[in-house]
Chains A and B, each alone.
Chain A
Amino acid sequence: MHFLAASIESLGAKVVGWFTVGYGMFAFLGRAGLLLLEPATWNRATFDVVVKQVYFTAVQILHVFLGYALLISWLIITIILSTARDFGLVEFASEMTIRVLVLELLPFLTALFVALRSGSAINTEVALMQVNNELDALAHCKVPPMQFEFLPRLIGGVVSVVTLAGLAGLLAMLMGYVAIYGANSAGFEPYTQTIAKIFDLKIMAGLIVKCALFGLAVTLIPVTAGLETPKKLFMVPVSVLRGMMRVFFAIVAIEGMSLALKYI
């Protein structure tokens, strides 16, 4: 009996914990969104920090990322093409390639890439800021950390994931064309038809929204996880660990939701 009560209690504590985390996250998002609506936010200084964030999240890793996207795309395209040829389904290969790579795999991998690189860095930095009292110092100076530190990170994350996923998608489409039709213009018409068939307004909007949500997840969750850190230096790794776990679950949840909306 005692054991049962204890386990129910621990379950309740967990649920309350999840709700607290979720509430904190969405409340933070709400504050960030409200701040976006204020004209005072849209000044040169915020823009400069956003530019800096985009530089660190997207531009700095562009060559590595594109190389990685090229490799993954090439592998997947080769697998799809050879399987399609084995089963005599080559006419479906281009559609399959685009659907698998451009719509699903590359945005997902982009989100993971940015999460691993920038998300973890953001989580650590915010946790350290919190532990070192830097946020208190900013508060004392009446410098709003949301506008100056967090909002630019969120915007930078969204912009970066959308752009990187888009670039990787374009690259994959180009590679798919070359792999299927070779380096000539003979396949342009049918390939265009396939692309036209796949990318209707709903799919395009869904893709952009999904990438934006990915971008938000890989920055918002680390920031809130960092802010939750108790003021003890040894809690920083714990904070990063928790934050990154949440990021991972969020990415999988977003991907699952988008698949469910698209195919069910």
Chain B
Amino acid sequence: MNKLHFKVGLFAAASLLLAAVFIVYLLHARGFFEKTFHLQLAAASADGVAPGVPVVFSGIEIGRVTSLGLNDDGGIIIRTEFLGRNAKWLKENSTFTLDKPIVGGAKIRVDSPDLKAPALPDNATMLLLTSDISKEIPALVARVQAILANVEYLTRKDGDLNTTLANARTVTGRMTGEYGMLEGVLGSPEKARALTDSLEKTRALITRLDGLAAKADQWLFAEKGVADQTRESLAQVRLMLNDAQSSLKKADATMANAVEITDNVKASTQDLVQLRAEIDDAVRKANDLVNEINKKWPFARKPEVKLP
């Protein structure tokens, strides 16, 4: 037989075989032989998410974003696609987090704490967290507790607020001017305005906490919204927020009472200045917290603050 033909034949056969093997491998890798698994992620913001963004589990890519869209309520729906063989990593208690590292593209991280949990059905909808809220919840709880303690300290029966107000009740004198009695109490319009500002801020905070609590409800009771222990933590936060809210309401009411008080003014001025500083501090911290929660909270695209 012709040696040249034999060599070329061998070359052609080997090349075709390798090409065929590679094509089969590629089809396998691209999931041609298996069903694709679809998952929808509801997100607060589509910032950084685009078709092609990978979904990673333990650092390995298991799927990718296919398209973005809006649902009927104006929420963002991110459609993702997984190979059938990778669907086993998606459990009902999995959390989905959008990671935006400093270097490299955005990716959606899947955490499945319990691989024995029931698998997600095809076309399920899950929440996409902007960053890992479940890890930050303990810190969040601690901060809420601190603020709560602060508020409680201010409003407890023998606390500064009551003492101060008790002092204020003894304040007597004619009240004149724009700021009414408080000007008399504080001795100057500036000081009186400072206190009323604090009251305004407190009221605004109460409204915001109200809105936040409503959102927490919405999130908590949404079907398959979040994983169980996350839900517990959030329920805890929810209770604390309620506490803080009621405490602040109490403070507000007490402060409002102060307006009606007429008594010796000068003696209690110092106390009121200090009180104002403390309330301001508490309000500022609470405001920060609310801002942060709002930033991380799903579905909280616009902080719905309505001033009273």
Chain A window 222-264, contacts with chain B (Cβ cutoff 8 Å), 1 for yes, 0 for no = 0000000000000000000000000000000000000000000
**A190-B60, A192-B29, A195-B26 given as contacts; is B19 within 8 A of A166 (CB)?**
yes
- Cβ of A196 and Cβ of B4 under 8 Å apart? no
- Cβ of B29 and Cβ of A89 under 8 Å apart? no
Is A133 in contact with chain B by the CB < 8 A criterion?
Answer: no
**A51-B5, A59-B8 given as contacts; is B60 within 8 A of A189 (CB)?**
yes
With both beta carbons as reference points, the residue of chain B lying nearest to A51 in the complex is identified as: B8
Is A25 in contact with chain B by the CB < 8 A criterion?
Answer: no
Is B11 in contact with chain A by the CB < 8 A criterion?
Answer: yes
Chain B window 173-204, contacts with chain A (Cβ cutoff 8 Å), 1 for yes, 0 for no = 00000000000000000000000000000000
Q: List chain B residues, Cβ under 8 A from A199.
A: 26, 29-30
Q: List chain A residues, Cβ under 8 A from B19.
A: 166
In this complex, which of B11, B54, B62 has the most chain A Cβ atoms within 10 angstroms of its Cβ?
B11
Interface residues of B in 60-87 (CB under 8 A from A): 60-62, 64
Is A16 in contact with chain B by the CB < 8 A criterion?
Answer: no
In this complex, which of B15, B18, B31, B62 has the most chain A Cβ atoms within 10 angstroms of its Cβ?
B15
**A89-B104, A170-B22, A189-B60 given as contacts; is B29 within 8 A of A196 (CB)?**
yes
- Cβ of A166 and Cβ of B15 under 8 Å apart? yes
With both beta carbons as reference points, the residue of chain A lying nearest to B62 in the complex is identified as: A193
- Cβ of B8 and Cβ of A54 under 8 Å apart? yes
| Bound Cα distance A192, B29 (Å) | 6
- Cβ of A59 and Cβ of B11 under 8 Å apart? yes
Is A142 in contact with chain B by the CB < 8 A criterion?
Answer: no
Is B222 in contact with chain A by the CB < 8 A criterion?
Answer: no
Q: List chain A residues, Cβ under 8 A from B28.
A: 192
| Bound Cα distance A170, B5 (Å) | 25
Is A126 in contact with chain B by the CB < 8 A criterion?
Answer: no
With both beta carbons as reference points, the residue of chain B lying nearest to A192 in the complex is identified as: B29
- Cβ of A170 and Cβ of B18 under 8 Å apart? yes
Is B308 in contact with chain A by the CB < 8 A criterion?
Answer: no
Is A163 in contact with chain B by the CB < 8 A criterion?
Answer: yes
Q: List chain B residues, Cβ under 8 A from A62.
A: 11
A239 to chain B minimum Cβ distance, whole angstroms, is 29
- Cβ of A196 and Cβ of B30 under 8 Å apart? yes
- Cβ of B8 and Cβ of A89 under 8 Å apart? no
Interface residues of A in 107-157 (CB under 8 A from B): none
Is B103 in contact with chain A by the CB < 8 A criterion?
Answer: yes
B23 to chain A minimum Cβ distance, whole angstroms, is 9
Chain B interface residues toward A at CB < 8 A: 4-5, 7-8, 11-12, 15, 18-19, 22, 25-26, 28-31, 54, 59-62, 64, 103-104
Q: List 17 A-B contacts (CB under 8 A).
A: A51-B5, A59-B8, A88-B103, A91-B59, A163-B15, A166-B18, A166-B19, A170-B22, A192-B28, A193-B29, A193-B61, A193-B62, A195-B25, A195-B29, A196-B26, A199-B30, A200-B30
| The 3 residue pairs across chains A and B that have the minimum distance between CB atoms | A196-B29, A192-B29, A59-B11
Q: A167-B15, A190-B60 are in contact. List 18 more A-B contacts (CB 8 A).
A: A51-B4, A51-B5, A52-B4, A54-B11, A55-B7, A58-B11, A59-B7, A59-B11, A62-B11, A89-B103, A91-B104, A163-B15, A189-B60, A193-B60, A195-B25, A196-B26, A197-B54, A199-B26
